[in-house]
Amino acid sequence: MKSPPRYPQAVNGILSVALLILTVILPSFTLAQDVLPSWNDTAAKSRIIDFVTKTTTEGGEGYVPPDERIAVFDNDGTLWSEQPYYFQLGFVLDRVKKLAPQHPEWQEKEPFKSVLANDLANVAAGGERALVELVMTTHAGMTTDEFNKIVTDWFASAKHPKTGRPFTDMTFLPMRELLDYLRAHDFRTYIVSGGGVEFMRPITEKAYGIPPEQVIGSTIVTEYALVGDVPVLRRLPELDFVDDGPGKPVGINQFIGQRPIFVAGNSDGDYEMLRWVTAGKQHGFAMLVHHTDGEREYAYDRNSSFGKLDKALNDAERRNWLVVDMKADWKSVYPK
Amino acid sequence: MKSPPRYPQAVNGILSVALLILTVILPSFTLAQDVLPSWNDTAAKSRIIDFVTKTTTEGGEGYVPPDERIAVFDNDGTLWSEQPYYFQLGFVLDRVKKLAPQHPEWQEKEPFKSVLANDLANVAAGGERALVELVMTTHAGMTTDEFNKIVTDWFASAKHPKTGRPFTDMTFLPMRELLDYLRAHDFRTYIVSGGGVEFMRPITEKAYGIPPEQVIGSTIVTEYALVGDVPVLRRLPELDFVDDGPGKPVGINQFIGQRPIFVAGNSDGDYEMLRWVTAGKQHGFAMLVHHTDGEREYAYDRNSSFGKLDKALNDAERRNWLVVDMKADWKSVYPK
């Protein structure tokens, strides 16, 4: 084999200058102007920037090598809205209506009857059992490929009951900027949500820049099977893993295998995840999105049936968790 | 805010030349000389290179965008040796011996008695029940952090029973080169192993360049708990997920959420995973490591108790799965 070519010294010189421009000068110009533009210049924004600066400044006391820069985000109420109900419940309701013609018996059978009558209070009265039956009816009994298409089609046409916008437009712009900002500093960003993992994966790349393998969520049992000579994965009506509350640190450990250093949540379902992240040797950064803006979004916390925030709010100050006041800290809420 | 600086045209010119050198010229020189140096120039090597070239050539018929370039590898027998027994069994045996002084009753109690007497045949005679008891005794009852340390310490001192080398030196050099080669072409490389995920994660980054979050394996149940005010994850003596056989495509779907386009295995435990990958719309590439080299490694296939390769070997030709003949196709087996 031939020996590798030598580049003349002039080319090496050019190379050095170009590398310097690319890696040192350009990024710092970009940063100074564009960091978190949808955040107001309040303490919340400063604390986030301070944390990222500290963990990414080589030689500094709080430096964390890129391998360990993992950030986890709850989804419902943290990255997008969760009122008047979790968007996945919107999918369940629409799906029941769509399947109803094939199930005439649902007209007289709860909880389907109440769904078809748009009587959400009565659905809720059926408790967890009714909800699980609705979820299994709409989420199981097909292959993973088929479910992916059902979800994708639903997101393409469904609209939020209050704003009339597609659900994927109801993501929080400041949080999307935060995801981008962290990734620009070599953080790997994950979703850790109580929602179904296969409900989220079809849209997380487009909505948040988060690929399927960085989405952790609740799962039902799937089973490998052959249809003729074609292998498929069948979704069975059986809960596998509930990625909520104490399940969140369990899911993080199972999927990621190391402790994140940044966590964002908005409810008591995120409490244990915040505890877990902030108890690590790196003293991870935790933030709670506090829904204080009844005008631009929704205002709720301690008594909400979706996204109840009580215990975590009580702990925030003494544990040094940042509470983001949506009304005061965010310049805008949704993308234009 | 100030407007961004304009770079003089000369700098832009330099930049273009440098970028061209960095992205186009340098990589092609490197490739021509260094691709898979521990592989002989046989058809196996050509088929691998052809596949990678085809899937990464923009505009070509078989082009696959980087987002979808996922490669999955079995571990035992595919990335490192698995004879005379899975290395994780070596850990179990050593751990029982280490814990024995605290358990005097084990001297008379099976399966521990046989382990302490080095009577592996008698351990095997106890069947799956004995094995599960040994695994739970040695893998559960501590926190995840504690188990990580136990495993790390074991790998630092344990030696392979035949070669006397550390187990992490018994990785296959040609496969490590293959991992590097795929990553250099923007593939994300995963391990999908029947082994315990928390047994592998402490060493996969160093051994293979694979970070913890890209290791999928079998799991036991873990539970979030507070010890005083400190959150921990406790490992419980209960099987959670067996990532073997039909469990492998299930695990791939659960963790990765999309179908890989490259798969490597060596046994019938990988059969369903190979079927799954090669049934995708991208016509994924599958390879089997065939252990044909009794001199440099081990020779076994259809009748082996560890890594039995029978059904998958029968299917290989008609499904166009590459069978790598370790003796003929590999210049060297282990790193020097």
| Domain carrying residue A73 | 41-83+168-329
Contact A213 B4 (CB under 8 A): no
Q: Which of B7, B15, B233 sits opposite A250 (nearest CB)?
A: B233
Establish if A1 touches chain B: CB-CB under 8 angstroms.
Answer: yes
Tell me the C-alpha distance between A263 and A288, whole Å: 9
Q: Give Cα B153 to chain centroid, integer Å.
A: 20
Task: Kindly list the residues from chain B whose CB atom is less than 8 angstroms away from the CB atom of residue A231.
Answer: 249, 272, 275-276, 279
Domain shared by A150 and A176, yes or no: no
Query: Does residue B93 lie in a domain region?
Result: yes
* Window 248-277 of B, Cβ < 8 Å to A: 249-250, 253-258, 272, 275-276
Q: How many CB pairs under 8 A join A and B?
A: 110
Task: Tell me the torsion sign for CA atoms B294, B173, B319, B44.
Answer: negative
Establish if B224 touches chain A: CB-CB under 8 angstroms.
Answer: yes
Query: Does residue B24 lie in a domain region?
Result: no
Query: Does residue A276 lie in a domain region?
Result: yes
Query: Does residue A6 lie in a domain region?
Result: no
Establish if B7 touches chain A: CB-CB under 8 angstroms.
Answer: yes
Domain shared by A114 and A177, yes or no: no
Last residue of a domain, one of A157, A182, A208: A157
Domain shared by A64 and A210, yes or no: yes
Contact B21 A29 (CB under 8 A): no
Tell me which chain B residue has its CA closest to the CA of residue A252: B213
pLDDT bucket at B34, cuts 50 / 70 / 90: confident
Residue B207 is part of a domain; what is its CATH number? 3.40.50.1000
Q: Does pLDDT of B22 surpass 80?
A: no
Domain shared by B189 and B269, yes or no: yes
Token pair of A29 as six digits: 């110009």
Task: Give the tens place of pLDDT for each residue, B238-291.
Answer: 999 999 999 999 999 999 999 999 999 999 999 999 999 999 887 799 999 999
Report the pLDDT value the prediction gives residue A226, as an integer from 0 to 100.
97
Task: Kindly list the residues from chain B whose CB atom is less than 8 angstroms away from the CB atom of residue A258.
Answer: 212-213
Task: Kindly list the residues from chain B whose CB atom is less than 8 angstroms away from the CB atom of residue A29.
Answer: 4-5
Task: Give the tens place of pLDDT for each residue, B50-100.
Answer: 999 999 999 999 999 999 999 999 999 999 999 999 999 999 999 999 999
Report the pLDDT value the prediction gives residue A4, as an integer from 0 to 100.
45
Contact A258 B18 (CB under 8 A): no
Identify the bridge partners of residue A159 per DSSP, sorted by sequence position.
Answer: A166
CA within 13 Å, CB half, A93: 19
* Window 288-327 of B, Cβ < 8 Å to A: none
Query: Does residue B1 lie in a domain region?
Result: no
The answer to whether A297 touches A320, Cβ cutoff 8 Å, is: no
Contact A222 B253 (CB under 8 A): yes
Q: Which of A33, A70, A255 sits opposite B1 (nearest CB)?
A: A33
Domain shared by B99 and B115, yes or no: yes
Q: How far from B241 is each of B194, B220, B251, B265, CA to CA, in Å?
A: 10, 7, 9, 19
Report the pLDDT value the prediction gives residue B4, as an integer from 0 to 100.
45
Tell me which chain B residue has its CA closest to the CA of residue A196: B254
Task: Give the tens place of pLDDT for each residue, B88-143.
Answer: 999 999 999 999 999 999 999 999 999 999 999 999 999 999 999 999 999 999 99
Domain shared by B229 and B294, yes or no: yes
Report the pLDDT value the prediction gives residue A282, as an integer from 0 to 100.
77
Taking the CA of residue B104 and the nearest CA in chain A, the distance in Å comes to 34
Domain shared by A73 and A187, yes or no: yes
Establish if B23 touches chain A: CB-CB under 8 angstroms.
Answer: no
pLDDT bucket at B335, cuts 50 / 70 / 90: very high
Contact B4 A224 (CB under 8 A): no
**A305-321 as b/e, with b when 16 or more CB fall inside 10 Å?**
ebbbbeebbebbeeeeb
Domain shared by B109 and B247, yes or no: no
Task: Give the tens place of pLDDT for each residue, B180-210.
Answer: 999 999 999 999 999 999 999 999 999 999 9
User: Would you tell me the crossing angle of helices A127-139 and A87-99 to the nearest 10 degrees?
Assistant: 70
Domain shared by B79 and B143, yes or no: no
| Strands of the sheet with B215-227, listed across from one edge | B230-241, B215-227, B188-196, B70-73, B262-265, B285-290, B322-325
Tell me which chain B residue has its CA closest to the CA of residue A217: B254
Task: Give the tens place of pLDDT for each residue, B278-325.
Answer: 998 877 999 999 999 999 999 999 999 899 999 999 999 999 999 999
Report the pLDDT value the prediction gives residue A8, as an integer from 0 to 100.
52
Taking the CA of residue A230 and the nearest CA in chain B, the distance in Å comes to 7
The answer to whether A263 touches A273, Cβ cutoff 8 Å, is: yes
What average pLDDT does range B37-58 have in this prediction? 97
Task: Kindly list the residues from chain A whose CB atom is less than 8 angstroms away from the CB atom of residue B253.
Answer: 144, 222, 233
The torsion defined by the Cα of A161, A162, A163 and A168, in degrees rounded to 10, comes to -50
- Report the number of distinct structural domains present in chain A: 2
Query: Does residue B16 lie in a domain region?
Result: no
Token pair of B233 as six digits: 């994850």
Report the pLDDT value the prediction gives residue A98, as an integer from 0 to 100.
97
Query: What's the whole-model pTM score?
Result: 0.90
Establish if A11 touches chain B: CB-CB under 8 angstroms.
Answer: yes
What average pLDDT does range B160-169 have in this prediction? 96
Domain shared by B135 and B96, yes or no: yes
Last residue of a domain, one of A100, A132, A157: A157
The whole-number mean pLDDT for each consecutive block of 10 residues of chain A, a chain of 336 residues, reads: 48 60 52 82 97 96 96 98 96 97 97 95 92 96 97 97 96 98 98 98 98 98 97 97 98 97 98 96 92 98 95 97 98 96
Domain shared by A268 and A226, yes or no: yes
Give the H/E segment covering residue B182.
helix B173-184
Domain shared by A244 and A269, yes or no: yes
Query: Does residue A32 lie in a domain region?
Result: no
Which residue out of A29, A233, A240, A242 would a mutagenesis test of the B interface target, given it has the greatest number of B Cβ atoms within 10 Å?
A: A233
Report the pLDDT value the prediction gives residue B24, as an integer from 0 to 100.
53
- Residue A157 sits at φ, ψ, to 5 deg, of -125, -25
Last residue of a domain, one of B98, B130, B157: B157
The answer to whether B237 touches A269, Cβ cutoff 8 Å, is: no
Tell me which chain A residue has its CA closest to the CA of residue B205: A67
